[in-house]
């Protein structure tokens, strides 16, 4: 009878999911507009639209607070739970305590004195609470006593030594050993640390495999997940990740292995290493079985602790035949059911597990907040306690300002609101309802039709209905720019949803962006999906962001900062756009994107030297180049980039003008025109709208943005006056929009789709993100989706037309001299012109911000330049004053501030990138 009942339950669950997909054609027809014209943020029905093509409608009770929670733990007495945010400058400071009976916060933002935080663990009796984190480049362990009401109080903070490669040892998850010792995953040291909680003595460091992340204790045995996988062997392809050579896929450059180290705690030795899926993270145990989440394989490895072998691998597929990309990152067992958090799907997947000899059945899904990362079990109240790192998104306190009597609220992508979800153990009805909601939230209804096989004998159209059907467009130019919100650039356009009070680079600075917005579709509801370059470039080129990099962003990138590239652990196993093109035989060429260095034997010179080279290359000046073309070459760490990268094109470096980048691209493009061999996909990184603040010897912010504007305008002009214009599309985005404020959301950006095959002069307010851009490129070039995100996304069909207008674009010349250099006479004319009272105080403030920019210049100029190494909050203030006036307080502030004052703000405490190389 029991077996029959189980079979019936499985059948019902299977029918539920299958019926949804079988009926998907009607559902897709009804939801063709996807998320319609939603603005990012809270909707009328209480749901939240994210900038990653997902709605948030979490199940259960929600507890919201500032910052990004990374870990959650339930007190052994079952009365309270604690969670801790990843960094102290994203809206939160440290620990929050929740009463599990009432679901209310009893303590908010207990400051641990740390810049970044990760692991939490209670002592067995609940009287002590331990946390890991970092401050000032050093790993830390914080010891707290726990009061009878569950409130922790800091007792001691221990400082850990440097990692073997040097720099921060980066302590992550921790657990309590059988003798009360603290067992800490020392991520950058590739070891498990054994710490005496009474003295802080590091009594042992046990060498494990690469990038240990999580620790589980079973009696006298510890299990450690090694997210970076096994040690390299002869013949392996390896790439450096924060000082360790990790094994990677020889094509995509993404890590390709994962292991669990088994440690005998009586001898502190590794007794076995178990191969599991790629990038294993958190674990749980039920009886003799240990369950390991493999985030980049979308699997769970089941280890039998009696034999320490993998006895089962469970495929995590939230819907039938799902693409990879769910990112399972935590798991618990409740009543023979696996509760698996799917980070990228904002859901808990519930599986009926009846032992390793039977394939688990997916019972259904439960919606969570944005990006769930950890689960705890509240047995007393029968709830799952889920930590949602991104919660409800960048909905923290708005920065208000009043200009000319008009009050404006500006949103930054850094104002994060995280959450805990208290979700009751689900019934069958809960799972049916929850599954439908998760499908809707992720736009999975109709996903089968959206990815149907191409039909034969279809007439070419601009945007094919199905991938693989012919397009009139044969060539895609994908341009990635830098870090400006929609309002910063197009707020003064006079149409669309703009706010002029937040405009820092108006039409006089950006005549081409304004003309492009007027001529081609104005996209005033378009969003980047990342917060900063390290996450942004992954979204732009992969259509997703790995669990690893999302957490790195949320914890201040202690391990690494792949601002475009630089850490194979951040690369999705499903690859980049160019990987997909190469795999499917589509030609591709890369100009700068995801390159890591630009070096040669000639002296590098100054911005002026490179500017003079541009003048020579463009025929405006006679003479020899200070660096002959070909002497300097772009470098890369992603193997597949090598053969397709045009190496004379620079990588990120504010010391090289975008006009030089244009001239290098122009020479190569004209060669393709001559040889009739233009690749189908062309990716370009055009960077200088990032600006270099007010550093002496660099152009002013206005001049650098004007340089970027002119370069993009010239690229469009060049292509549109060539024979390839008739079958090309130029798609322009940014990797992130962190360096400004926007009255809608800090992720909203000025994006462009330019082609004879798009509707001209229209304002399109459809909700779009870079994922839709990626999908549109795939749709046009016949590239299959890489992962769940772009498989669910809709192409931007409604802005295309099959009645082309082949009128070429004529570039608008710059109205600001591009060589207006900081530190020269009149260089601050634009800023001071906006300063109503050029008082000695305003002049002194200008001087101080120039001094700050000069101190940080090397982070933006030259071989060591890195996206976002200069703290975004500091640079944003420098650029605000330089563009709006040194008497205009930064939004949300009552007065103008010196660099010293801004440096004390929480937003300025932690630099974006790691300093561990």
Q: Mind listing the pLDDT tens digit for each residue in 468-480?
A: 999 999 999 999 9
23 contacts: CB under 8 Å, gap ≥ 6: none
Looking at residue 11, its pLDDT comes to 37
Lowest-confidence segment of 314-323, 484-493, 889-898 by average pLDDT: 889-898
16 pLDDT above the threshold of 50: no
Tokens, residue 165? 């490669």
Q: Output the CA–CA distances (angstroms, integers) from residue 316 to 78, 197, 404, 470, in the order listed.
A: 30, 38, 55, 34
Cα gap 801→798, rounded to integer Å: 8
Q: Is the separation of the CB atoms in 21 and 445 below 8 Å?
A: no
Looking at residue 856, its pLDDT comes to 82
917 pLDDT above the threshold of 60: no
Q: Is the separation of the CB atoms in 84 and 94 below 8 Å?
A: yes
Q: Output the CA–CA distances (angstroms, integers) from residue 602 to 18, 629, 632, 860, in the order listed.
A: 63, 11, 8, 20
The helix/strand count (H/E) of the chain reads as 18, 46
Looking at residue 400, its pLDDT comes to 61
- Tell me the pLDDT tens digit for each residue of 187-224: 999 999 999 999 999 999 999 999 999 999 999 999 99
Looking at residue 850, its pLDDT comes to 83
| Mean pLDDT, rounded, of the chain | 91
Span 637-665, mean pLDDT? 96
Residue where the block lists tokens 């004379």: 648
Q: Which of 288, 256, 822 is nearest to 573 (CA)?
A: 256
Looking at residue 31, its pLDDT comes to 38
DSSP code string of 808-838: PP-PPPPSS-TT-BTTSTTTTHHHHHT-SS-
CB 368: neighbour CB atoms within 10 A?
A: 34
Q: Give the percent of the chain with pLDDT over 90.
A: 77
Looking at residue 840, its pLDDT comes to 81
Is the domain defined by 470-541+549-600+634-780 classed in CATH 3.40.1360.10?
no
Q: Which of 175, 179, 163, 187 is nearest to 222 (CA)?
A: 175
Greater model confidence, 826 or 304: 304
Lowest-confidence segment of 374-388, 401-415, 694-708 by average pLDDT: 401-415
CB 29: neighbour CB atoms within 10 A?
A: 11
Residue where the block lists tokens 């958090």: 341
3-state secondary structure of 10: helix
Cα gap 735→869, rounded to integer Å: 15
320 pLDDT above the threshold of 70: yes
2 pLDDT above the threshold of 90: no
Looking at residue 906, its pLDDT comes to 72
Residue where the block lists tokens 């519930």: 350
509 backbone φψ class: left, alpha, beta (φ>0; ψ -120 to 50)? alpha
pTM: 0.93
Output the CA torsion sign for 699, 700, 701, 707.
negative
Looking at residue 32, its pLDDT comes to 42
Q: Give the percent of the chain with pLDDT over 70.
A: 91
Distance in angstroms between the alpha carbons of the first and the last residue of the chain: 62
Looking at residue 836, its pLDDT comes to 60
Span 414-442, mean pLDDT? 94
Q: Is the separation of the CB atoms in 393 and 376 below 8 Å?
A: no
Q: Is the separation of the CB atoms in 118 and 172 below 8 Å?
A: yes
Tokens, residue 664? 């290098």
CB 36: neighbour CB atoms within 10 A?
A: 13
Residues forming beta bridges with residue 71, ordered by sequence position: 84
Cα gap 496→482, rounded to integer Å: 22
313 contacts: CB under 8 Å, gap ≥ 6: 277, 299, 300, 301, 302
4 contacts: CB under 8 Å, gap ≥ 6: none
Encode 672-704: b = buried (16+ Cβ within 10 Å), e = exposed: beeeeebbbbbbbbbbbbbbbbbbebbbbbbbb
- Tell me the pLDDT tens digit for each residue of 726-761: 999 999 999 988 888 889 888 999 999 999 999 999
3-state secondary structure of 894: coil
Looking at residue 825, its pLDDT comes to 52
| 3-class SS letters over 531-552 | CCHHHHHHHHHHCCCCHHHHHH
405 pLDDT above the threshold of 70: no
Q: Which of 685, 648, 681, 643 is nearest to 663 (CA)?
A: 648
Q: Residue 5 — pLDDT band, cuts 50, 70, 90? A: very low
DSSP code string of 145-201: EE-TTS-EEEEEEEEPPPPTTSS---EEEEEE-TTS-EEEEEGGGTEEEEE-TTT--
Q: Residue 27 — pLDDT band, cuts 50, 70, 90? A: very low
Residues forming beta bridges with residue 85, ordered by sequence position: 69
Looking at residue 150, its pLDDT comes to 95
Beta strand pairing call for 681-685 and 588-591: parallel
Q: Which of 610, 521, 519 is nearest to 812 (CA)?
A: 519
DSSP tag of 589:
E
Residues forming beta bridges with residue 403, ordered by sequence position: 406
Looking at residue 399, its pLDDT comes to 63
CB 211: neighbour CB atoms within 10 A?
A: 28
- Tell me the pLDDT tens digit for each residue of 540-571: 999 999 999 999 988 988 998 887 789 999 99
Tokens, residue 394? 């960048």
Q: Is the separation of the CB atoms in 98 and 401 below 8 Å?
A: no
783 pLDDT above the threshold of 90: yes
Q: Residue 442 — pLDDT band, cuts 50, 70, 90? A: very high
Span 870-894, mean pLDDT? 84
Looking at residue 23, its pLDDT comes to 37
382 backbone φψ class: left, alpha, beta (φ>0; ψ -120 to 50)? left
909 pLDDT above the threshold of 70: no
Looking at residue 301, its pLDDT comes to 98
Looking at residue 356, its pLDDT comes to 97
Span 230-247, mean pLDDT? 96
Looking at residue 830, its pLDDT comes to 45
DSSP tag of 785:
P
Looking at residue 392, its pLDDT comes to 86
The structural domains of the chain, with segments of one domain joined by +, span 470-541+549-600+634-780, 829-908
């Amino acid at each position: 009878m029991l077996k029959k009942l189980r079979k019936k339950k499985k059948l019902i669950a299977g029918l539920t999911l299958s019926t949804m997909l079988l009926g998907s054609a009607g559902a897709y027809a009804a939801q063709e507009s996807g998320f319609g014209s939603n603005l990012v943020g809270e909707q009328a029905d209480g749901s939240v639209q994210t900038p990653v093509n997902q709605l948030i409608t979490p199940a259960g009770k929600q507890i919201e607070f500032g910052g990004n929670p990374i870990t959650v733990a339930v007190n052994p007495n079952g009365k309270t739970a604690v969670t801790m945010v990843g960094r102290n400058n994203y809206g939160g400071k440290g620990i929050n305590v929740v009463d599990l009976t009432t679901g209310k916060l009893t303590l908010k933002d207990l400051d641990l004195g740390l810049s970044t935080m990760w692991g939490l663990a209670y002592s067995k009796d609940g009287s002590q609470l331990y946390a890991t984190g970092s401050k000032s480049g050093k790993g830390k362990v914080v010891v707290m006593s726990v009061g009878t009401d569950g409130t922790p109080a800091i007792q001691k903070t221990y400082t850990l030594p440097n990692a073997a490669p040097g720099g921060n040892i980066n302590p992550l998850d921790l657990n309590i050993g059988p003798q009360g010792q603290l067992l800490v995953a020392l991520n950058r040291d590739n070891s498990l640390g054994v710490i005496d909680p009474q003295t802080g003595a590091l009594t042992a460091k046990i060498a494990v495999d690469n990038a240990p992340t999580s620790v589980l204790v079973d009696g006298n045995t510890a299990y450690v997940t090694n997210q970076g996988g096994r040690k390299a062997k002869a013949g392996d392809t390896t790439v450096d990740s924060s000082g360790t050579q990790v094994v990677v896929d020889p094509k995509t450059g993404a890590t390709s292995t994962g292991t669990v180290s088994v440690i005998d705690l009586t001898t502190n030795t590794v007794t076995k290493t178990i191969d599991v899926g790629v990038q294993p993270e958190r674990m749980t145990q039920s009886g003799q079985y240990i369950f390991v989440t493999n985030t980049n394989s979308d699997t769970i490895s089941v280890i039998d602790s009696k034999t320490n072998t993998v006895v089962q691998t469970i495929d995590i597929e939230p819907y039938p035949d799902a693409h990879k990309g769910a990112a399972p990152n935590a798991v618990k067992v409740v009543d023979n059911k696996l509760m698996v958090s799917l980070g990228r799907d904002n859901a808990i997947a519930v599986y009926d597990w009846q032992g390793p000899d039977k394939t688990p059945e997916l019972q259904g899904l439960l919606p969570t907040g944005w990006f769930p990362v950890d689960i705890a079990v509240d047995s007393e109240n029968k709830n799952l306690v889920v930590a949602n790192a991104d919660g409800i998104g960048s909905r923290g306190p708005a920065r208000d300002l009043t200009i000319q009597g008009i009050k404006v609220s500006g949103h930054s992508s850094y104002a994060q609101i995280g959450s805990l979800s208290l979700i009751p153990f689900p019934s069958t009805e809960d799972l049916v309802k929850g599954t439908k909601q998760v499908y809707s939230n992720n736009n999975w209804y109709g996903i089968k039709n959206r990815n149907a096989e191409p039909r034969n004998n279809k007439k070419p159209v601009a945007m094919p209905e199905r991938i693989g059907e012919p397009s009139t467009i044969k060539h895609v130019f994908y341009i990635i720019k830098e870090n400006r919100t929609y309002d910063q650039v197009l707020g003064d356009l006079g149409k669309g949803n703009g706010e002029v009070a937040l405009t820092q680079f108006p039409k006089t600075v950006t005549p081409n962006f304004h003309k492009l917005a007027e001529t081609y579709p104005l996209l005033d509801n378009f969003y980047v999906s990342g917060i900063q370059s390290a996450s942004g470039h992954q979204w732009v080129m992969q259509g997703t962001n790995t669990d690893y990099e999302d957490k790195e962003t949320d914890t201040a990138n202690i391990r690494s900062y792949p601002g475009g590239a630089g850490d194979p652990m951040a690369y999705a196993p499903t690859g980049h756009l160019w990987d997909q093109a190469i795999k499917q035989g589509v030609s591709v060429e890369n100009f700068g994107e995801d390159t890591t260095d630009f070096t040669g034997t000639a002296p590098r010179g100054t911005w002026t030297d490179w500017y003079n080279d541009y003048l020579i290359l463009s025929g405006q000046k006679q003479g020899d180049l200070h660096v002959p073309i070909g002497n300097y070459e772009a470098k890369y760490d992603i193997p597949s980039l090598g053969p397709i990268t045009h190496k004379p094109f620079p990588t990120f470096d504010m010391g090289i003008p975008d006009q030089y980048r244009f001239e290098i691209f122009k020479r190569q493009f004209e060669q393709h025109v001559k040889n009739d061999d233009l690749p189908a996909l062309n990716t370009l990184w055009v960077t200088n709208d990032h600006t270099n603040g007010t550093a002496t010897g660099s152009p002013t912010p206005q001049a650098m943005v004007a340089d970027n504007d002119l370069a993009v305008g010239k690229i469009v002009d060049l292509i549109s006056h060539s024979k390839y214009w008739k079958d090309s599309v130029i798609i322009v985005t940014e990797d992130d929009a962190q360096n400004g404020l926007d009255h809608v959301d800090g992720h909203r950006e000025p994006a462009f789709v330019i082609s004879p095959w798009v509707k001209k002069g229209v304002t399109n307010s459809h909700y779009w993100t870079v994922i839709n851009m990626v999908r549109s490129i795939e749709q046009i070039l016949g590239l299959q989706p890489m992962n769940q995100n772009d498989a669910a996304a809709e192409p931007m069909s409604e802005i295309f037309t099959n009645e082309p207008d082949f009128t070429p674009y004529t570039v608008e010349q710059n109205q600001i001299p591009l060589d207006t250099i900081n530190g020269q006479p009149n260089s601050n004319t634009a800023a001071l012109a906006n300063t109503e009272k050029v008082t000695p105080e305003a002049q002194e403030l200008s001087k101080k911000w120039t001094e700050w920019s000069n101190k940080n210049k090397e982070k933006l100029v030259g071989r060591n330049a890195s996206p976002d190494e200069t703290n975004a909050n500091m640079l944003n203030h420098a650029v605000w004053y330089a563009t709006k006036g040194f008497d205009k307080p930064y939004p949300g502030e009552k007065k103008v501030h010196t660099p010293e004052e801004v440096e004390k703000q929480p937003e300025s405490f932690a630099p974006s990138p790691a300093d561990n190389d």
